[in-house]
Amino acid sequence: MSVDATWLIVPVDKAGVQKAVKAAYCGLSNVPLLSVLCGSKTAWPLLPVPANLFPNFPAGKHPVIVQQSYNHDIRQTIANNGFFIQALRGSSIIVPLVDRLRDGKTPFNLPVLGYLNSTVPEVAGTIGGVTLQAGCFTPDSSAYEQDTSNPNQFRSQSRNQILSPTLLPCGNCPLGAPCIEPSNIDMYFKSAHPAQSPYPYTLPALKSLLNAPTILNFLGSLANGAGGGFPGSVLGGCKDIPCCERDTTYFNYSSAQPMARVGISVKLYEPQVPAGLGGSYGDSASSRVGGFSACGQLIGGGLEECKVAAARVDRTAL
């Protein structure tokens, strides 16, 4: 599918990021009694930030990818059934550089938050093994828009959809019922001027994070046919749950047109976002927020053992 998006790399206190990873471990933070199925190991640690790609990354911080997107031509297969969606607004928070294999060197991405616009039934809440919730967006039909208060910057915002009807447009609550739609992500950013070079982060740095294999949640792994390593399992597929998937975004098309961005203000609101990640981040010495807007082509792979997914990463996409 085509992904028209802005990806901003946000430095967050490493201890807070590790807390969010622990809460998301196996995708069972809300089902503690089932956590025994994930094994007795503690949550995955974080890998060091590669100095060759992030030479001036703030000490004591870990990169978090905050994404606002407008996706087109979405084709997905679930339980051998295919479906097609023309366009879809979304947002997500991804923790990169997660040591899923515990080998101290192989990076993985852990999605800890994801929202889709409210016209998509929440029954698809574990699409591809990634937990998603219904959301509302500004703007609702593009990845970002010009900020009306400042023509030199752009904005993109998303909100939880709690009491407004899931299958109706946001803000349309029947019978005068209140619409409760608390903010989860606010992004304000501007184009990076060539005179500001070097930009906060390079496109190769973003691609190296973005195109690592994705860790799927535990329940999504089972739903997609994971064997789970249980003795005598007849489900087949990935045995070392949770499983992984290669979701690779390519920027080598003429339509990609990547634009370097500087984050003016990124606000992540708790408790809508995982504890440890909430806060206000901006372009400063201790909070170097930056990234790119582009139209990438996302090609998703199937469910795989995480070790296999890591070995099959397309190195040309990094």
Distance CA 226, CA 228 (A): 5
Q: Which two tokens stand for residue 174?
A: 């029947």
pLDDT digits 0-9 by tens, 212-244: 999 987 655 555 544 443 333 334 457 777 788
Q: 108-152 pLDDT, tens per residue?
A: 999 988 887 755 544 344 444 566 777 788 888 888 899 988 888
pLDDT at residue 271, rounded to an integer: 86
pTM of the model: 0.84
pLDDT in tens, the chain (318 residues): 788 899 999 999 999 999 899 888 755 444 444 455 555 557 899 999 999 999 889 999 999 999 998 876 555 544 444 554 556 888 999 999 999 999 999 999 999 888 877 555 443 444 445 667 777 888 888 888 999 888 889 999 888 766 554 455 666 665 556 666 678 899 999 998 765 655 678 999 999 999 999 998 765 555 554 444 333 333 445 777 778 889 899 998 888 899 999 888 999 998 888 889 999 998 666 678 999 999 988 887 778 889 999 999 998 887
Number of independent structural domains in the chain = 1
Residue listed under structure tokens 């809508």: 272
Q: Domain span at residue 48?
A: 2-317
In CATH, what number is assigned to the domain containing residue 237?
2.40.400
Distance CA 300, CA 111 (A): 15
**Residue 20: half-sphere exposure toward Cβ, Cα within 13 Å:** 30
Dmax of the chain from CA atoms?
62
Per DSSP, which regions of the chain are E strands?
A: 2-13, 61-78, 81-98, 108-117, 133-138, 145-146, 154-160, 183-191, 214-215, 244-250, 259-268, 279-282, 290-304
